[in-house]
Amino acid sequence: MAADLPAEFDVVILGTGLPESIVAAACSRIGQRVLHLDSRNYYGGNWASFTFSGLQSWIDEYKQREATTDEPVTNKEQILENEGIIPLNQRDRTIRNIETFSFSKSEDSNIVEEIGALSIKPELLNTNPTDGDQPLQESPAPEQPELQEPQSESVEHQETTSESDQIPGANIAPNSEGGSTTDAEPNAAKVCQTESRKSITYSDIVREGRRFNIDLVSKFLYSRGLLIDLLIKSNVSRYTEFKNVTRILTYHNGRIEQVPCSRADVFSSKQLSMIEKRTLMKFLTFCADYEQHPEEYQDYKDSAFLDFLQSKRLTPSLQHFVLCSIAMVSKNTNTVDGLKATQHFLRCLGRYGNTPFLFHMYGLGEIPQCFCRMSAVFGGIYCLHHSLQCLVIDEDSKQCKAVIDSSGKRISCNYVLVEDSYLSEVTCAQVQYRQISRAILITDCSVLKSESDQEISVLTVPSEDGRQNAVYMTELCSSTNTCMKNTYLVHLSCPSVKATAREDLEPVIQKLFTLDADGGE
């Protein structure tokens, strides 16, 4: 089929993550002939979202890949004398140390952990209805990996912990310092509550697996910012549907509390005293246009935001709310940056709802696809499960003038954009990577109960000793179309410090969630 690909494009783009997809849409929009490829058979690369069984196939595939080595394929026939090549990776090493757990009442729950041994059938990622009629035997049938976890009831939760290299090339990587854009908050969450109410069993989850849209990377958007502006300006927003995050939570004094952030919240808050309300109102009103009142913070310009908060007589609770949950900065952040962050938060309030954040329905993984759709509508040609062997470089000009695709076909082009997990370690030797630890949990009750069971919550858990970074958690309810009824999908993340994501996140998970006793911990 790839034989029908034209032999010439203006722009060839490899990787269908968010940055690449935005560029693809932009190039098509201005009339460039775009070829957009991904080595996977799904959109989004490491920005993808999966159904429950899709995620399991993905995990299996990753485990398998970790075990194999990369053999560079290069087709020298197509290369002329004055040309050199840059070979590309045929597999992605971005994500590491994936582990899955389940917490179950029944003894056979550890079978679930064994699924990693099975082979993958990539088609399953897209489609497969996870039907409930799986055979109740244990012998893993390699042809049907997703029928394999046979135990019937019991497993309450499934957690995937993964660790990923963040890619600086894709500069929208969660890096909140950048301010502006995607300022998605890397979020995180995990849950394990079991009070044996209408308990959700593992097989329920398998049966309803299609209701899940589990993001590999979970972020949400500020309701004002470059990404939301871009969605609107480019008209890509016609494909998007968001929900406003409904609650901002924080972990304070050993428990989870809701952070009052709008005027109305502050007034109606039960946890704040009258004096605190007044102090907070006054402070936030000042932050909304702090530049107008330089005298207020002049003396603290070079000190920490926290010192400034103290100078404004904010009580310890208020300091915590502002620092951790409104500005979402660390104790060492300086005053001006803290003020900027607070102001941005306040400016985003009320645009679409009573928190500043938007979460995309069906998961973040939809957003790259929305840009791909836009590119396709303007003529972009899409080919998944199709990669490049190498880039062809003209020795004289040092420019890339063609690529060789995975079928060995030479395609000439003026520009190439490659997501950097496709580049070899040699090529990226100069690049500094940051790692993020993530956990994903499926839970059966919210970390903080409220009247509604359809809250979308964001929670910051500051590190206890203040030396590590905070852990961010997002808890999604079923109306976001990311999980089945009566469950929550929780994403947790923090910059990696320890050797594995599990070590980084397990302490927080144990603080926030009740793991079912018989399941293990």
Instruction: Tell me, by CB under 8 A, how many residues bind other proteins.
Output: 53
- Residue 216 binds other proteins (CB under 8 A): no
Contact with other proteins (CB under 8 A) among 74, 78, 181, 262 = 262
| Adjacent-strand bridge partners of 49 | 215
Which stretch in 194-202, 298-306, 363-371, 506-514 sits in contact with other proteins by CB under 8 A? Answer: 363-371
Contact with other proteins (CB under 8 A) among 353, 391, 392, 502 = 353
Residue with tokens 């109960």: 449
Contact with other proteins (CB under 8 A) among 381, 417, 428, 448 = 381
Contact with other proteins (CB under 8 A) among 256, 272, 287, 390 = 287
Residues 399/402/403/408 CA torsion (nearest 10 deg):
-140
**H or E segment at 281?**
helix 274-288
For 518, the token pair is 């018989």
CB of 211 to other proteins, least distance (A): 10
Q: 3-class SS at 13?
A: strand
- Residue 10 binds other proteins (CB under 8 A): no
Q: How far apart are CA 209 and CA 57, in angstroms?
A: 12
CB of 349 to other proteins, least distance (A): 5
Which stretch in 89-97, 126-134, 309-317, 400-408 sits in contact with other proteins by CB under 8 A? Answer: 126-134
- Choice between 231 and 404, CB closer to other proteins: 231
- Choice between 116 and 350, CB closer to other proteins: 350
Q: How far apart are CA 521 and CA 516, in angstroms?
A: 8
276, 289 Cβ separation under 8 angstroms? no
CB of 272 to other proteins, least distance (A): 16
- Residue 128 binds other proteins (CB under 8 A): yes
- Choice between 24 and 441, CB closer to other proteins: 24
Neighbours of 242 (CB within 10 A): 21
For 30, the token pair is 């201005």
Which is nearest to 478 in space by CA: 465, 487, 467? 487
Which stretch in 89-97, 381-389, 425-433, 441-449 sits in contact with other proteins by CB under 8 A? Answer: 381-389
Mark residues 222-251: x for contact with other proteins by CB under 8 A, - for none: ------x--xx----xxxxxxxx-------
CB-count exposure of residue 499 (10 Å: 0-12, 13-18, 19+): exposed
Q: How far apart are CA 54 and CA 107, in angstroms?
A: 26
- Choice between 223 and 496, CB closer to other proteins: 223
Supply φ then ψ for residue 161, to 5 degrees.
Answer: -115, 130
Which is nearest to 414 in space by CA: 405, 403, 401? 401
Which stretch in 250-258, 359-367, 391-399, 432-440 sits in contact with other proteins by CB under 8 A? Answer: 359-367
CB of 122 to other proteins, least distance (A): 13
Q: How far apart are CA 247 and CA 477, in angstroms?
A: 12
CB of 96 to other proteins, least distance (A): 27
- Residue 350 binds other proteins (CB under 8 A): yes
| Adjacent-strand bridge partners of 100 | 160
| Adjacent-strand bridge partners of 257 | 250
Contact with other proteins (CB under 8 A) among 79, 288, 417, 428 = 288
Q: 3-class SS at 79?
A: coil
- Residue 500 binds other proteins (CB under 8 A): no
Contact with other proteins (CB under 8 A) among 72, 84, 132, 379 = 379
401, 412 Cβ separation under 8 angstroms? yes
Sequence letter at residue 39 = S
CB of 27 to other proteins, least distance (A): 12
CB of 235 to other proteins, least distance (A): 9
CB of 423 to other proteins, least distance (A): 23
CB of 350 to other proteins, least distance (A): 3
Contact with other proteins (CB under 8 A) among 278, 313, 351, 449 = 351
- Residue 328 binds other proteins (CB under 8 A): no
Q: 3-class SS at 190?
A: coil
Q: How far apart are CA 458 and CA 95, in angstroms?
A: 24
Mark residues 403-442: x for contact with other proteins by CB under 8 A, - for none: ----------------------------------------
- Residue 466 binds other proteins (CB under 8 A): no
Residues 23-62 that bind other proteins (CB under 8 A): 28, 43
Contact with other proteins (CB under 8 A) among 375, 435, 437, 446 = 375
Q: How far apart are CA 387 and CA 422, in angstroms?
A: 9
Which is nearest to 491 in space by CA: 500, 479, 482? 482
CB within 8 Å of 350: residues ≥ 6 apart:
262
Which stretch in 109-117, 310-318, 344-352, 439-447 sits in contact with other proteins by CB under 8 A? Answer: 344-352
Q: How far apart are CA 400 and CA 218, in angstroms?
A: 34
CB within 8 Å of 390: residues ≥ 6 apart:
74, 75, 85, 86, 87, 88, 403, 404
174, 184 Cβ separation under 8 angstroms? yes
Give the residues lining the site for other proteins (CB under 8 A).
Answer: 1, 4, 28, 43, 126-129, 228, 231-232, 237-244, 262-264, 284-285, 287-288, 346, 349-354, 358, 361-362, 366, 369-370, 372-373, 375-384, 386, 479
